[in-house]
Amino acid sequence: MKILSQIQIFFLSIALLLFITSSSPTHSKQTNLDYIKTSCNLTLYKTLCNISLSPYASTINSNPQKLAVTALNLTLSSAKSAVKFIKNISHRRGLTRLEAGAVADCVEEVGDSVSELQDSIRELDSIKYKDSSKFKMVMSDVETWVSAALTDDDTCMDGFGRAGRAKAGVKDLVRRHVVKVARMTSNALALINMYASTKEN
């Protein structure tokens, strides 16, 4: 009976060890997801923020810099896709002169947004290599670039307002892509501001 008891204790110990080992990553993943959800609550477009960033929870790992960089990279990818899509629309037949002008302007504006996002990512990535005293200056540059990118997205859509009776189909197709980019840019800016505030004196 004593031997049986020891065997039971042995197997219970193994089971407990396996449970702890298997539940630890799950707990860590949930913690990372909670961090993203809490951070996204600071953004204007919370659902979009959660949906886009949650798949990268393990990479972000509750790190505000990684969160900001990931948000910027996803925004950059979306902006590049939008530029490609709008360029394709510019080759459509049947566009009025005003529509063609608005589309061309949009390609340029969102193209500028892509450049500004790329500069922001490069600068944000370099923070770990720079003197901590320069953190505030770097973050100020990044915030300026991302704000400019957001303005470019808005300017793109303003062009269609000046295009008179732009075809609803063309305007709506462009708008759908650019609005998503603008919202992701807005969210990224909020997360960048959050990161900047973590090291304020």
17: in domain: no
Do the beta carbons of residue 59 and residue 88 sit within 8 Å?
Answer: no
Is 117 in contact with 146 (CB distance < 8 Å)? yes
Residue 25 lies in a domain: no
Q: Give yes or no for a contact between 193 and 143, defined as CB atoms under 8 angstroms apart.
A: yes
If you ran DSSP here, which 8-state letter would residue 61 be given? Answer: T
The answer to whether 195 and 70 have CB atoms below 8 angstroms apart is no
Beta strands in 17-139 (DSSP E): none
From CA 198, how far away is CA 35, in angstroms rounded?
14
Residue 77: inside a domain:
yes
What pLDDT does 28 receive? 67
Is 3 among the domain residues?
no
- What's 175's domain CATH number? 1.20.140.40
Q: Token pair of 34, please?
A: 């909670």
The pLDDT of residue 18: 46
- Quick: pLDDT tens for 118-141: 999 999 888 766 666 788 888 999
What single letter denotes the amino acid at residue 23? S
Q: Quote the number of domains for the chain.
A: 1
Output the pLDDT for position 12: 54
Dist. CA 56–CA 67, nearest whole Å = 9
CA-to-CA distance for 195 and 51, rounded, in angstroms?
20
Domain that includes residue 163, residue range: 30-197
Q: How far apart are CA 81 and CA 75, in angstroms?
A: 10
Query: Sign of torsion, CA 132 133 137 143?
Result: positive
Is 172 domain-assigned?
Answer: yes
Q: Does some domain include residue 148?
A: yes
Sign of CA dihedral 90, 81, 178, 169: positive
Q: How far is CA 22 from the centre of its chain?
A: 30
Q: Over the chain (201 residues), what is each successive 10-residue block's mean pLDDT? A: 52 48 52 94 96 95 93 97 92 81 91 96 80 82 95 85 60 88 96 87 50
Question: CA angle, corner 125, sides to 144 and 135, nearest 5?
Answer: 60
Q: What is the pLDDT of residue 9?
A: 53
